[in-house]
Chains A and B, each alone.
Chain A
Amino acid sequence: LHGHGKPYRTSDLARMMYNLSLSPAEVIKKWRHETEDDEEAKEDGEEDDFFKISKAEGPSTAEDRYISHFDYVTLEKKWEDEDNLELIRKRFISGHISEKS
């Protein structure tokens, strides 16, 4: 289906952004090259094709959120790992100030 290229390509997102035949969720999924199966199994496994379409069109259970859902257990693991801390350190004024002007 999308065998070519690597995920997260800017041109892919620009192309799909205004393609109204894809729902925003589908655009993100394709852009990240996530496989359809995991996602669907996670949400609800028993639905067949007929219902999937209506669900994508009218997300009647979804509500607006400003703060997205965070899984704090994974976050804590991530930000206690020294490698990840090193990666983010350059986003702070205190770290590696000498290597960039």
Chain B
Amino acid sequence: MTDERTQPLLKFTGQKYLTHRLVLSTLTGRPIRISQIRSSSPTNPGLAPHEVSFLRLLESITNGSTIEFSYTGTTLVYRPGLITGSADGLGASGGVLRHELPAGCTRGISYFLIPLCLLAPFSKAQVNVIFHGPGVITSATPTGDVSVDTVRTAILPLFAQFSIERNIELRILKRSCAGPGGKGGGGEVQMVFGHQVRLPKTLHLMNPGRVKRIRGVAYAIGVAGANNARMIDTARGVLNKFVPDTYIFSDVSSAPFISTNDRSNPGAKKKIGIGFGLSLVAESSTGCLYSADVVCPPSGGVPPEEIGKQAAYQLLEIISKGGCVSSIAAPTMLTLMAMGSEDVGRLQMGRDVIGSEEMIELGRDLNAFGGSGWGLRDAGDESGDIVVSVVGRGVGNVGRKIA
């Protein structure tokens, strides 16, 4: 309660940027109040299943957090605790925390993984979470989430730039696309993040370099593997003339089974999460990563050639925006920079990457949580990029104050 007087609640509105605000709140220890969450929706007001599930995840990897909902779920008060990770005795058993996602979840697993990865370096113990249950979608989703392959190959390597690189692993135990109507999946993913730091290193990333290789994963779940070959073929057709070093892996797996929840036949199971998709990652000579993700819609009806072509064009579009980070990676990078030591870090970004609503809101949120404002200046080369200077807050890892 003493907290209440020294630290007034930071107030936000709307369901957008919810996970990121919760992450910032946890990292900085500032309690927050988010109101008007889908308050004007007549059918689904308040928090959605994936958001409630994310709050539960936060609760289980922290110690001492309190979460209060209003009756309708449109207002939320969150008081963060210490990030303890998967320490024994606090919900985890054997150092592994099992987190079940409900069947109504419409978001991909990256919705949970990316914020979790932001918290993990500042945890007291290592973070080891298995996501399971009828709501785990490992593929990209029509709701705009990237696939688990993109998280593994385009988001996790970013942490190495901050000297956070040991014992980080993302295991895909069971793949799944989005189920009927985009709801549910049935996949299984294990996230191990074993490198905790006091403070992330100050980053100076000013040279985007040139794209030297493209890697990718094509996945077909419960459908013929020929779909993979067709996606890979068309994607390579577009990309090969730019980068001869293009290699796309093919992953064929059977569809996951989940319980039908039929009372008369409790053992009955049904297949869910059938589909195919493609994740592409381009790596530049200086280690910058650009990613693209396209998946077939849950209703089907799109040929694999179309998916392959769309992914390739999306990748070209993202590369053409320039800078050292894509808009998918930018929130992770900028947040880690803001959490770093009290020194100026610099990051070169494309004009359209920094000049987006998400980035402006991110800058404002970081500012609201006590970070300093970003400095923007022209990169001064022919690329037309903008260099963002971020001063770290020097908060770092409270659990690791005594090294």
Residues of A within 8 A of B (CB): 8, 10-11, 13-14, 17-18, 20, 24-25, 27-28, 31-32, 57-70, 72, 75-76, 78-79, 84, 87-95
Q: Is the CB of A94 within 8 A of B40?
A: no
A93 to B319 CA separation, bound complex (whole angstroms):
13
A13 to B388 CA separation, bound complex (whole angstroms):
11
The interface residues of chain B lying within 8 Å CB-to-CB of A63 are: 15-16, 143-144
Q: Is the CB of B375 within 8 A of A14?
A: yes
Closest 9 CB pairs of A and B: A65-B144, A24-B360, A24-B357, A60-B40, A14-B376, A75-B313, A93-B210, A93-B212, A92-B242
Q: Is the CB of A59 within 8 A of B309?
A: no
Residues of B within 8 A of A (CB): 13-19, 36, 38-41, 110-111, 114, 140, 143-146, 208, 210-212, 238, 242-244, 285, 293, 309-310, 313-314, 316-317, 319-320, 322, 327-328, 351, 354-358, 360-361, 363-364, 367, 373-378, 386
B303–chain A nearest beta-carbon distance, Å: 13
Contact of B210 among A11, A66, A68, A92 (CB under 8 A): A92
A24-B361, A94-B243 known; A10 vs B316 contact (CB < 8 Å) = no
Q: Give B37's nearest chain A residue, CB to CB.
A: A60
Q: Is the CB of A66 within 8 A of B317?
A: no
A10-B386, A91-B211, A93-B285 known; A27 vs B144 contact (CB < 8 Å) = no
Contact of B317 among A13, A18, A70 (CB under 8 A): A70
B138–chain A nearest beta-carbon distance, Å: 14
Q: Give A27's nearest chain B residue, CB to CB.
A: B360
Contact of B146 among A62, A66, A88 (CB under 8 A): A66
Q: Is the CB of B355 within 8 A of A13?
A: yes
Q: Give B316's nearest chain A residue, CB to CB.
A: A79
The interface residues of chain B lying within 8 Å CB-to-CB of A67 are: 140, 144-146, 293, 314, 328
Contact of A93 among B36, B243, B314, B377 (CB under 8 A): B243
A89 to B15 CA separation, bound complex (whole angstroms):
40
A63 to B141 CA separation, bound complex (whole angstroms):
13
Contact of B14 among A58, A92, A94 (CB under 8 A): A58
The interface residues of chain A lying within 8 Å CB-to-CB of B14 are: 58-60, 62
Q: Is the CB of A89 within 8 A of B242?
A: yes
Q: Is the CB of A66 within 8 A of B212?
A: no
The interface residues of chain B lying within 8 Å CB-to-CB of A91 are: 208, 210-211, 319-320, 322
A63-B15, A64-B16, A95-B242 known; A72 vs B310 contact (CB < 8 Å) = yes
B34–chain A nearest beta-carbon distance, Å: 12
Task: Give me 29 A-to-B residue pairs in the complex whose CB atoms sit less than 8 angstroms apart, sorted by A's number.
Answer: A10-B376, A13-B386, A17-B364, A17-B376, A18-B364, A24-B357, A24-B364, A25-B357, A28-B355, A57-B13, A58-B40, A59-B16, A60-B14, A60-B15, A60-B38, A61-B40, A64-B16, A64-B18, A64-B111, A67-B144, A67-B145, A72-B314, A75-B314, A87-B320, A89-B242, A90-B210, A91-B208, A92-B212, A93-B212
